[in-house]
Amino acid sequence: MKKIFLGVTGASGAVYAKDLLKQLPLHGCETHLCVTPDGMTNINLELKKDYKTAQEFAEDTGAEAVIYDHNNLAAPVSSGSYRVDAYIVAPASMGFVGRAASGISSNLIERCADVAMKERRKLIILFRETPLNLIHLENMAALTRAGAVIMPAAPGFYHCPDNISELISFITGKIFDIIDIEHRLYKKWGSGG
C-alpha cells in the first residue's frame, strides 16, 4: 500500500484536494493529510462548508486519512526516516512555493516538501495562480532543479469534458500518472477507451 502525503495550502482549488482525498484510498493508498489555516479557509469558502478541522473535511469527503496539525513538526512524517512514497501539495499557494524554494520549513507541509527533495522522493506541486511574476517563475525553476514536479492546476480539454467533475478528474489522473498509480480517471490520448 502506497503512503501518500497530501498537503493543502491556501490557493484556490479546494476541489482538487477533495478529489485527491477521495481517490487516493479508492486506489489503494494510505493518505496522510495536512491542511494550512489558509487552506482551511479556502476549503470552506469554495466548498461552501464550515469545517472546523481537517478531520471534519476528510470525514465529510468519506475518505480515510491520517491527519496532522500544520504546526506539528514532530509528526513522524516530518522525518526523512519515515517512508512516504510520494508527496503532493494541492492546491499549492505561491507563498508555499516561495517558502519551499527557499528551504523554509515553517510548517509541516513545507517541512515535508523539504524532506521529499532531500530524500530524492517524488514531490508534486499543483500550483494555482495567474498571471505569474518572475519571482513565482524563479521559485518554481528552483523547485524543479531540486527534483519537484511542478504542475499547473490547468486541465486539458482534449478529452472533451462534459462537466467540471471530468476536469478535476483529469488533474487527479495526471498526478496519479506521475506517482505510478493505475487509474481510469481520464481517457488517455490514443488509448481508445
Ligand X SMILES: Cc1cc2nc3c(=O)[nH]c(=O)nc-3n(C[C@H](O)[C@H](O)[C@H](O)COP(=O)(O)O)c2cc1C
Nearer to ligand X by Cβ, of 29 and 77: the residue is: 77
Cis peptide preceding 131, ω within 30 of 0? yes
In whole angstroms, the minimum distance from the beta carbon of 190 to ligand X comes to 33
In whole angstroms, the minimum distance from the beta carbon of 13 to ligand X comes to 7
Nearer to ligand X by Cβ, of 41 and 102: the residue is: 41
Residue type, 146: A
Nearer to ligand X by Cβ, of 14 and 29: the residue is: 14
Q: Where are the alpha helices (DSSP H) in the chain?
A: 14-26, 37-47, 54-61, 94-101, 108-118, 134-145, 164-178
Nearer to ligand X by Cβ, of 9 and 31: the residue is: 9
In whole angstroms, the minimum distance from the beta carbon of 173 to ligand X comes to 21
Distances (CA, A) of 90 to 126, 130, 168, 192, 193: 5, 16, 12, 29, 28
Which residue's C-beta sits nearest to ligand X? Answer: 10
Q: Which residues bind ligand X (CB under 6 A)?
A: 9-12, 36, 38-39, 41-42, 45, 93-96, 128-129
Nearer to ligand X by Cβ, of 40 and 115: the residue is: 40
Calpha distance 80→174 (Å, rounded): 26
Nearer to ligand X by Cβ, of 12 and 79: the residue is: 12
In whole angstroms, the minimum distance from the beta carbon of 90 to ligand X comes to 12
CB 77 within 8 A of CB 43: no
Q: How many residues does the chain have?
A: 193
DSSP, collapsed to helix, strand or coil, labels residue 29 as strand
Q: Which of 58, 69, 68 is nearest to 25 (CA)?
A: 58
Calpha distance 146→136 (Å, rounded): 15
In whole angstroms, the minimum distance from the beta carbon of 38 to ligand X comes to 4
In whole angstroms, the minimum distance from the beta carbon of 8 to ligand X comes to 8
